[in-house]
Amino acid sequence: MCGIIGYIGKNKAATVLLDGLERLEYRGYDSAGMAVYDGEKINLAKAAGRLNVLYNLTRGGETLPGGLGIGHTRWATHGGPNTDNAHPHVNRDRSIAVVMNGIIENYLPLRKRLIARGYEFVSETDTEVLPHLLDHYYSGDPRKAIIRMLHRIEGSFALGIIFKDHPDTLYAVRKNCPLIVGIGEGENFIASDVTAILRHTRKVVYVDNMEIAEIRTDRVDYYSMDEEVLEKTPTTVDWDVSAAEKGGYEHFMLKEMMEQPKVVRDTLSPRLQNGRIVIEELKMTEEELAAVNKVFIVACGSAYHTGVVAKYIFENLARMPVEVDLASEFRYRDPLLKHDDLVVVISQSGETADTLEALKMAKEVGCKILAIVNVVGSSIAREADFVMYTWAGPEIAVATTKAYSAQLIALYLLAMKFAGARGFLHGRKYKAMIDEMTKLPEQIEMLLNNREEIQRIASRYIAARDVFFIGRGIDYAISLEGSLKLKEISYIHSEAYAAGELKHGTISLVEEGTLFAAVATQPALKDKMLSNIKEVKARGAVVLAVTTMGSSEIENAADYTVTLPETNPLFADSLAIIPLQMLAYYIAVGRGCDVDKPRNLAKSVTVE
């Protein structure tokens, strides 16, 4: 949530900041602002609303001259989205300016103490305590003031700070929120995401918790809280700049949906060698895999939904117990973890706060941690024992599509690896499943290229009030994700239900014309799904069936049908999700919604 960027160098800071903030829009925001040092004073520009308001206010940055500055996009938390609450925040004489991604949990007592000392506040935010604290502790040495402030504040945060008295230095610090330093030629950057600075540099340093970065035009120095000098090694980001641009598509979400065949192929290819699954990142022998007692899968949102799918596949193939938890619930239910359990944490950004904290809790118990993430060098990747990267490239749209598909593939591979190690998957079945997996990219591409029917169906349900998704087994898991996609971007009320639960209350919600998306890909459950389709049809529902070839009875019972290519039933949801993503997308477009930046949502949830 929120986005920060900072710049020091030979170019006009405001222009660089605006460009970076535009690339951070996907993180979600409702106000934006910049602070730039012009050689004499720190100038502020802040505005509620979209970034173009700030752009017009500053005439594209022309009204804020100078080569040192910080910028911010804010989601309203403490106080509404208005100019006073927008970042950056400053001390009384505007000699210190601060931007923050995160939350200061003890800001109220700090605020009271500062007011008692004569400090005046102009906003309702937690962030405003920071420039006043720095002002209180500052006696000429910014680093010492920052350290004293860090000893007083509690929470999760990433900060960018400038001091009028030190116009040659940009300061940054983090705790549990993402922060990178970008290394350029005669210029350097800070940002909460590499996409913000990818146009300017590919060389980045990941700042660790409670580390202070002092950034100048020609060098960057890093310090611990004890002022010990730290050595940091830059990483080269190999993402193509065009991967963070629309490339001619109307929306990032559409572009990212269309990239799914490549993403699935890129996630599969390096892990299939000579007809065998090789997960080098796992660094566990076959014996160690077989000795794992239980798998816990922990995630949030769409990543959690991939875990629900994985539970069915692990238990079916590897015959081992699997628990799937929302990270926010896992932390507080006192789970019964053992040393020989494996905890798999899944996060697109690698920065999801609840997932990161769940990881740390499991690690304290002594469990091995495997992270499935998309962002190299992210906090979760650095904390885990092993990391499987999904290689999906930057995902800009808030509603995940390609990262979700990549996570599914990673989990298929992992389940099959465990099944092989435990002696349940080998020979012809093993080879057949690998063959089926390698066909998935082409099959996904076929579904994407034949989307006219979904567009036609979507056009008829733009004004829908409620849409329900039903399925059994794995298909229930995919229904959860289909429903989430629709509600995220179209703002239509939607729910997913295990189809067998309809009679336990849910069927009372069916009205004439209510749309039901029924996912029926599992051969052993098709007859039961047919009964459920007839149940809701008898009460006036309209049914869109997503099913596999040869399901004539389901096709006859449904009003609309999307037929999937033939594949192993355990992999069917990689195909079933495609029409559900497209349904959500085209309904949202038809309703005029901001598909890439849906209201109230953020791409990376870095606070609890």
**DSSP string spanning 553-565?**
HHHHHSSEEEEEP
Q: Which residue has the tokens 């800001």?
A: 107
Rounded Cα–Cα distance for residues 478 and 377 (Å): 29
| Tens digits of residue pLDDT in 446-495 | 999 988 889 888 988 888 889 999 999 999 999 999 999 999 999 999 99
Mean pLDDT, residues 392-419 taken together = 92
Q: Both tokens of residue 5?
A: 């960027």
Going by their DSSP bridges, the two strands 170-175 and 155-163 should be labelled as antiparallel
pLDDT of amino acid 154: 92
Rounded Cα–Cα distance for residues 422 and 416 (Å): 10
Residues constituting the chain = 608
Task: Assess contact for 260 and 401: CB atoms under 8 A.
Answer: yes
According to DSSP, the residues that pair with 496 across neighbouring strands are: 469
Rounded Cα–Cα distance for residues 176 and 198 (Å): 22
CA dist 434 → 263, 285, 407, 437 (Å): 17, 21, 17, 5
Rounded Cα–Cα distance for residues 602 and 465 (Å): 24
Per-residue DSSP letter, 340? T
Mean pLDDT, residues 510-538 taken together = 90
- Residue ranges, comma separated, of all CATH 3.60.20.10 domains in the chain are 3-238
Sign of CA dihedral 459, 460, 461, 462: positive
pLDDT of amino acid 325: 92
Query: Which of 564, 267, 202, 571 is closest to 402 using CA atoms?
Result: 267
Catalytic residue among 2, 177, 300, 593: 2
> Is 70 exceeded by the pLDDT of residue 241?
no
**C-alpha dihedral over 286, 289, 290, 295, to 10 degrees?**
-160
- Please give the model's pTM, rounded to 2 decimal places: 0.77
Q: Both tokens of residue 346?
A: 């899944």
Report percent pLDDT > 90 for the chain.
Answer: 62
Q: Both tokens of residue 562?
A: 């999307």
Strands of 68-74's sheet in order across: 42-48, 31-37, 68-74, 3-9, 187-191, 180-183, 203-206, 235-236
Going by their DSSP bridges, the two strands 542-548 and 515-520 should be labelled as parallel
Three-state secondary structure call for residue 171: strand
> Is 80 exceeded by the pLDDT of residue 2?
no
Q: Which residue has the tokens 């389940």?
A: 415
Neighbours of 149 (CB within 10 A): 24
- Residue ranges, comma separated, of all CATH 3.40.50.10490 domains in the chain are 242-448, 450-597
pLDDT of amino acid 296: 93
> Is 80 exceeded by the pLDDT of residue 396?
yes
**Span 242-448 CATH architecture:** 3-Layer(aba) Sandwich (3.40)
> Is 70 exceeded by the pLDDT of residue 199?
yes
Q: Both tokens of residue 600?
A: 């109230």
Task: Assess contact for 475 and 525: CB atoms under 8 A.
Answer: yes
pLDDT of amino acid 102: 86
Query: Which of 394, 397, 405, 445 is closest to 253 using CA atoms?
Result: 397
pLDDT of amino acid 27: 66
Three-state secondary structure call for residue 543: strand
> Is 60 exceeded by the pLDDT of residue 315?
yes
535 contact partners, CB below 8 Å, separation of at least 6: 502, 503, 507
Sign of CA dihedral 21, 23, 24, 29: positive
Rounded Cα–Cα distance for residues 193 and 25 (Å): 11
| Tens digits of residue pLDDT in 25-66 | 766 678 899 999 998 999 999 998 888 899 899 999 899 999
Rounded Cα–Cα distance for residues 265 and 390 (Å): 10
Confidence of residue 74 (pLDDT cuts 50, 70, 90): confident
The dihedrals phi and psi of 384, each to the nearest 5 degrees, come to -75, 160
Angle among Cα 478, 481, 486 to the nearest 5 degrees reads 130
pLDDT of amino acid 192: 86
**C-alpha dihedral over 129, 131, 135, 141, to 10 degrees?**
130
Query: Which of 465, 467, 535 is closest to 501 using CA atoms?
Result: 535
Catalytic residue among 12, 175, 417, 603: 603
> Is 70 exceeded by the pLDDT of residue 120?
yes
Mean pLDDT estimate for the chain? 90
Query: Which of 550, 210, 589, 183 is closest to 397 using CA atoms?
Result: 589
Rounded Cα–Cα distance for residues 62 and 207 (Å): 31
Burial class (CB in 10 A: 0-12, 13-18, 19+), 188: buried
| Tens digits of residue pLDDT in 500-513 | 887 787 787 877 88
| Tens digits of residue pLDDT in 128-149 | 999 999 999 999 999 999 999 9
Q: Both tokens of residue 405?
A: 């598909």
The dihedrals phi and psi of 563, each to the nearest 5 degrees, come to -100, 130
- Least confident interval from 180-184, 224-228, 505-509: 505-509
Highest mean pLDDT among 124-133, 176-185, 320-329: 124-133
Angle among Cα 583, 487, 500 to the nearest 5 degrees reads 80
> Is 80 exceeded by the pLDDT of residue 553?
yes
| Tens digits of residue pLDDT in 344-359 | 999 988 888 889 888 8
Rounded Cα–Cα distance for residues 486 and 64 (Å): 41
Q: Which one is the CATH code of 3-238: 2.102.10.10, 3.20.20.70, 3.10.100.10, 3.60.20.10?
A: 3.60.20.10
Mean pLDDT, residues 525-536 taken together = 90
| Tens digits of residue pLDDT in 257-286 | 999 999 999 999 889 988 899 988 888 888
CA dist 276 → 189, 292, 407, 416, 583 (Å): 43, 21, 19, 10, 36
Domain 450-597 matching CATH 3.40.50.2020: the answer reads no
Task: Assess contact for 170 and 215: CB atoms under 8 A.
Answer: yes
Mean pLDDT, residues 366-372 taken together = 91
> Is 60 exceeded by the pLDDT of residue 608?
no
Check if 2 is active-site. yes
